[in-house]
Amino acid sequence: MIYERLEQRRMSFACTKRNLAGLTKHFEDIIVHENYLHGVAKEDFYSGMDALAQTFRKLYTEMISDPQNYAMKDDNDSKGLSNNMNFLFQLAQTGTLNDKILEVEGKLLALTLKEAKVTKAERYFHILESLGFVTTGLGAKIETSEMISVEYPDNNYLLAVLKAMTDAICMFSSAKPHQISSNYFELLDYRLLENYPATEPTLTFEYLMSKIKGESRDIATMFYEFIMPLTKCQVKGDFRHYWTITFTLKTTKKVIMSLRVNLESHDVKLNLFNLGKYTKFLIDFPTKMLHEIKHGGWETDNDDAFVFELGGKTYKKDPDGSFVFTKPNKSESMLLIELLKKELSFL
């Protein structure tokens, strides 16, 4: 499912920046499975995790400041961005870790890059050298190079982490390695290293808050703090970009609300079965929110429909439907919480 979504959209600079922000936070709390350590002590492995994250941050910073120096047409060249971010993983995918040195057979690497539709790949080795990597054995062409060795003298454990992450991503993805070779960075999450074989990390509200920034985070937290004492919370999504947080009442076992969030926006869904009992409360609601109530939910003539009047018109809604409020701001969210309070008072 994750890979299909990745195929449907391009990596953007904004998305890349958020990936980096999440990657560099709290990785010390991750319990890395011993099968990924490659014989490296855990404290040294954590050092390599930090070094790899900082390397990607440096690469990102330099790319946006001088895209043409990084084989990119301009700062909107998503393909060039993807190629830069994923080249290290393509090396690790085809290479073997030997005493903190990554050894890659030239013909095998050339085949991997060809399948990923990466051309003129020799230039990416020069980019690696600008980041502090040392390469030996590279000839005029990758395919004619018998064995290419890559080292990172500034941190001997970075390559062990890179190899572990590449293995975990390939293991986790349902796609074949060459099919994800242009999407490694999108799937990069250190929490994949917690389980062997790699499985999708457990989603929690706290984890989501480490990914979401700005207004969406503040509003999600506002709703969570209000409704959580009365409900059970379940988080679903693809662990990287798209999530639904569902709140089910402990008393009635019915869903009262859900939050749909991603890296760019947020929606609030409310189940208001008793709306007809407090429509007078809506008199001062903004036009946009009244429109979402009128046209939200599912219109029905079934006997179990709940009925309410608004703006001189009668509405009959299916009790299984929800009212979706698109990207409410803070003041609108406060109104929605008051609306929830009204609903809860009739349950």
Residue 7 vs residues 11, 20, 112, 175, 178: alpha-carbon distances, Å: 10, 20, 18, 11, 14
> Which H or E run includes 273?
none
54 contacts: CB under 8 Å, gap ≥ 6: 24
Distance CA 84, CA 63 (A): 9
Residue 23 has pLDDT above 80, yes or no: no
Q: For the chain, what is the mean pLDDT?
A: 85
Query: Worst-scoring range by mean pLDDT, 112-126, 139-153, 158-172, 245-259?
Result: 112-126
119 contacts: CB under 8 Å, gap ≥ 6: none
Domains of the chain, residue spans:
2-194, 205-345
Residue 3 has pLDDT above 60, yes or no: no
Residue 94 has pLDDT above 70, yes or no: yes
Residue 202 has pLDDT above 50, yes or no: yes
130 contacts: CB under 8 Å, gap ≥ 6: 62
Cross-strand partners of 148: 104
CB atoms within 10 A of CB 176: 10
User: What percent of the chain is modeled with pLDDT above 90?
Assistant: 50
Residue 61 vs residue 335, higher pLDDT: 335
User: pTM for the whole thing?
Assistant: 0.67
Tell me the Cα Rg of the chain: 25
Instruction: Estimate to the nearest angstrom the gap between the alpha carbon of 187 and the chain centroid.
Output: 8
Length of the chain: 347
What would the pLDDT profile of 221-236 be if each residue is shown by its tens digit?
A: 999 999 999 999 999 8
What would the pLDDT profile of 258-278 be if each residue is shown by its tens digit?
A: 999 987 789 999 999 999 999
Tell me, what's the pLDDT at 195? Answer: 86
Q: Which two tokens stand for residue 190?
A: 């250190």
**pLDDT class of 169 with cuts at 50, 70, 90:** confident
Residue 68 has pLDDT above 60, yes or no: yes
